[in-house]
Structure 1
């Protein structure tokens, strides 16, 4: 796996709750299955071992298919910082690195989400092809996380989630 290209997605969101509540939503399997890459109604697996070196797994069933996301926790500093790997083995063996930083603000907390996205170019790709793929991965990831973060906001601020992502 050489010639891996990367792009960085950075998103900032504010929540009208204490940092601990948002941090917990990333690690508590009961909360994870309501927003993190899945919804309660389509979730088949929400499992994690929230310690450095521990792993996590989400399996979501959509349109007759199972989608599996897995990773490993690299850093856990409650309620300020979480770093973990993110991989969807059915699409790629490449792992992205996700960093979630949460800080207290006067109205609650601010979450800064950063995803280091890895793309493995095809053998015959030109530089333009690589740039196009990086843009598509970035924009597709941003769209998906936008939907998830709407659900996360609703979950932590109201205790429930009703959006259909």
Structure 2
């Protein structure tokens, strides 16, 4: 692989539920299939071996194509922390690292999500081109997670997600 760089995305969200509910939504396939890189009606596969060293996989089918997201659980401390890898092999050989920390609050919990985004470089890129692509990866990831976290919030707080049309 050519050279790479990384950018770090950190997002915080509050939920009006116990930390256990948010934690389970990251580990249980029946919940993952509703929000994590997929929607319930487009999900083909949702698997999780929710232990350290275990793998997870989501396959979403949209517009005639399968989109596969996979990873490995590196650290799991219920219900407050998990560290996992994330890759989409059909797009890149890179492997991102994600950390989810869930803090209990008086009226629910707060989740802090951090993703170390690995950006592959094309040969000959200038520093300006690298910065432009890092910004695009960051903004694209932030947009995607914003949508997923809206679904996660609806799921854990109401049991349902109102998917956009």
User: If the length of structure 2 is used for normalisation, what is the TM-score?
Assistant: 0.98
Report the secondary structure of 2:38's partner residue. Answer: coil
SS in 2 for 1:53: coil
In structure 2, the partner of 1:33 is 33
Q: Which residue of 1 is the match for residue 160 of structure 2?
A: 160
- Aligned equivalents of 2:12, 2:153: Cα separation in 1: 12
Specify every segment of 5 or more residues in structure 2 that has no aligned partner in the other structure, as ranges. Answer: none
**What is the CA distance between 1:63 and its match in structure 2?**
1.2
- Counterpart of 1:109 in structure 2 is 109
Structure 2 counterpart SS, 1:79: coil
Aligned-partner SS, 1:111: strand
Q: d(CA) in 2 for partners of 1:139 and 1:36?
A: 18
The alignment covers a number of residue pairs equal to 165
User: Match of 1:13?
Assistant: 13
Question: How far off its partner does 1:164 sit?
Answer: 2.8
Q: TM-score of the superposition, structure 1-length normalised?
A: 0.98
Q: How far off is 1:120 after superposition?
A: 1.0
Question: How well do the aligned residues superpose, as a CA RMSD in angstroms?
Answer: 1.0
- Correspondence for 2:23: 23
> Can you list the C-alpha shifts for 1:89-147, whole angstroms capped at 9, x where unaligned?
00001000000000001220000000000011100111111111110000000000000
The structural deviation recorded for 1:158 is: 0.3
Cα shift readout 1:37-67 (whole Å, capped 9, x = no counterpart)? 1011000000111111110110001111110
Q: Give the 5 Å matches for 1:78-89.
A: 78-89=78-89
Partner residue of 2:125?
Answer: 125
